[in-house]
Chain A
Amino acid sequence: MARWIEKYRSILDFTLSSLVRRKGKNLSLLVVYVLVVFMLGSAMFLTEAMKREASLVLKGAPEMVIQRLLQGRYDPIPMSYLEKIRGIRGVISAEPRLWGYIYDSAIGANYTLMVPRNVALPSGEIMIGNGISRRRMIYSKDMMSFNLSNGSSRVFTVRDVISPESELVSADLVLLSEGDFREIFELPSTHATDLVVKIRNPKELVTVAKKVMELLPDTRPIIRDEMVRTYDSVFDWRGGIVTVLLMMALLAFVILAWEKASGLSADEKREIGILKAIGWETSDVIAVKAYEGLLISFFSFTVGILLAYGHVFFFSAALFAPAMKGWSVLYPDFRITPFVDPYQVAVLFFLTVVPYTVATIVPSWRAAIVDPDSVMRS
């Protein structure tokens, strides 16, 4: 037992000095490897975090939202529709919602203005999301003005900054009173932005939606499950843009691994011959190559994953930002809540470390079965 340990310790020692020996080659390998893990890891962390953010958004979303369409475009919905909807069997309640976007030319971003359902804010007071607070450097008790579409502007007092459960949802949010909302958007009290409907039994969602369309042909009911599905297909790393990205990175990696597999240099072959000639067994030579593969793999994987973590959660996936979420200037300094799925890290580990290690062992095995007498001729 002690012999066995001593033997593999010695072989490990030799592997380490061998790795240092081929510095240039191993360094370039390391860089590519780290890069691949970094790309894959970043994509993985980002999509997973976005999915989580999205599910937080949707958790609070109503089961059914009803919008009105006019000539195929969105239009405010009459409050009179409420009664008709409440009359449908299976509907528990129907409430109006008031929300809309306003553009702030000062920072070039859109805010979401919304009238909260549970708190009634006094006229002239607002609550703002922390994205806005950070960008405009406006805090509690400060004043904030909005330019209205008619050219005038209105000043509000900030009552509070909203503490985030999910930054993605609240960063650009402005809460205000119904009166102020209607004034800003010039929305008469007979209309609302859309309606939210609560339904007794989720199984009846589709039936209720059909009834609504029959009753009010100019409306479009949106069911939460549909939104969930849309989000999922966008953010799911097994099906979406990310998959394509992933496939490309993996392909690059496989090419790298096979390049290495086929490229056992004459020097390396000769060395294997020498080792065999001086009494190393095939298994000892393979042990060296396996250590080599594992050392490079583990090191690159760890560094790549740590870099990806930092990139996504400390630098807000700066490299991917243009592709992933270019919606608002509020988001560049938006930090994604760290969230790591160990299952996915494990999958990434097996997709990189295992094939790479195999690709290092296989060619050395081929070389190790050649007769050691080959080294007696130059």
Chain B
Amino acid sequence: MIKLLNVRKGFNLGRPNEFVAVDGVTLSMEANRVTVLKGPSGSGKTTLLSLIGCMARPTSGRIILQRGLPREYLFPNGGDTTEVEVTSLPERFLTEIRRRTFGFIFQQFNLLKGITVLENVMLPAFPLGEKHGVVKKRALALLEMFGLSGRALAKVEWLSGGEAQRVAIARALMNNPPVIIADEPTAHLDSKLSSAFMEIIARLKDQGKTAIIASHDPLVFEAKMVDRVISVRDGMLEGDTA
């Protein structure tokens, strides 16, 4: 459902500090699977995730989203291609795809300080122009699902690490995306909370979602619900359990 063809990503090209973070990666990922990218620090996991999630464009190579993603996510206004090549899309469409296809869980959670938990969760839905009441209801339902109902009106800076992460997950699910992308999701969590996070991933998988996780935490890549572990080193694929 997501295909990478000979994807390269370089930084500061043509300058003395030129660096190639992803070097000729060819990869194909199936829907409704949990895939973990593992590898040492600096190996290019985050870069790879941001390419897959349409956050950045590759320097060369192609990234293709295939059928298998529900069509309305790819083409909310219709459209008849079975594949879409992300690499050639203008910025506007990339944003649209990012918004409808991917839910991101960042390593530092990236919640907005000073506003409430509820507002944070609602944020991704604002540009869609849904009715405020509908959005709020959905956000409250998500918070309920993660046991955060009581914290809806709390400011995010009052939250514990585990709570903050669950808020981040709720936010990632706000627009009901088919794919969840998580970068080092357990880096700030103890082992109990890390296991809880993987349980949530298992639940989402049961609901039909796809998860792509970058991590070097054994608790993550050794978890039983993980379908596939891809090892990355120096921007290249090194091993693959699939």
Contacts and interface: CB of A to CB of B under 8 A. Distances in A.
Given A9-B132, A284-B126, A373-B56, A277 B114 contact: no
A279 B175 contact: yes
Contact of B115 (A6, A18, A372): A18
Given A6-B132, A271-B112, A376-B50, A277 B104 contact: yes
Q: What's the dominant secondary structure at chain B's contact region?
A: helix
A146 to B, nearest CB: 70
Contact of B123 (A6, A270, A275, A375): A275
Interface stretch (B25-33, B59-67, B92-100): B92-100
Nearest to B113: A21
B130 A376 contact: no
Contacts of B100: 279
A168 B55 CA distance: 69
Interface residues of A, number: 35
B127 A281 contact: yes
B15 interface: no
Contact of B130 (A6, A21, A270, A373): A6
Contact of B126 (A10, A274, A282, A371): A10
Contact of A376 (B55, B125, B126): B55
A11 interface: yes
A279 B96 CA distance: 7
B201 interface: no
Nearest to A280: B127
A8 to B, nearest CB: 8
Given A274-B112, A281-B92, A376 B129 contact: no
A153 interface: no
Contacts of A6: 129-132
A7 interface: yes
Interface in B116-139: 116, 119, 122-132, 135
B82 interface: no
A282 B99 CA distance: 13
Chain B: interface residue count, which band?
35 or more
Contacts of B127: 7, 11, 279-281, 284
B108 interface: yes
Counting chain A CB atoms within 10 Å of each CB, which of B95, B98, B123, B127 scores highest?
B127
Contacts of B129: 2-7, 10
A376 B114 contact: no
B209 to A, nearest CB: 17
Nearest to B132: A10
Nearest to A22: B114
A299 B210 CA distance: 48
Contacts of A372: 55-56, 98
Nearest to A14: B126
B135 A371 contact: no
A56 to B, nearest CB: 55
Contacts of B122: 10
A277 B110 contact: yes
A378 interface: yes
A339 to B, nearest CB: 45
B220 to A, nearest CB: 17
B107 interface: yes
Nearest to B92: A281
B23 interface: no
Contacts of B183: 376
B38 interface: no
A14 B123 contact: yes
Interface string B82-107: 00000000011001001110001011
Given A284-B126, A371-B55, A278 B132 contact: no
Given A278-B171, A371-B56, A378 B124 contact: no
A17 interface: yes
A375 B106 contact: yes
A13 interface: yes
A376 B49 contact: yes
A73 interface: no
B46 interface: yes
A373 B55 contact: yes
A4 B126 CA distance: 10
Contacts of A371: 55-56
A203 interface: no
A18 B113 CA distance: 9
A24 to B, nearest CB: 12
A278 B114 contact: no
Contacts of B132: 6, 9-10, 13
Contacts of B128: 3, 7
Counting chain B CB atoms within 10 Å of each CB, which of A11, A13, A21, A376 scores highest?
A376
Interface in A132-156: none
Interface of A: 2-7, 9-11, 13-14, 17-18, 20-22, 270-271, 274-282, 284, 371-373, 375-378
Given A21-B115, A276-B95, 12 more contacts: A3-B128, A3-B129, A3-B130, A6-B131, A9-B132, A17-B115, A278-B99, A278-B104, A279-B175, A280-B95, A372-B98, A378-B107
21 contacts: A3-B129, A4-B129, A6-B129, A7-B126, A7-B128, A10-B129, A10-B132, A10-B135, A270-B110, A274-B110, A275-B123, A277-B98, A277-B104, A278-B123, A279-B124, A280-B123, A281-B92, A372-B98, A375-B110, A376-B55, A376-B106
Interface of B: 46, 49-50, 55-56, 91-92, 95, 98-100, 104, 106-108, 110, 112-116, 119, 122-132, 135, 171, 175, 183
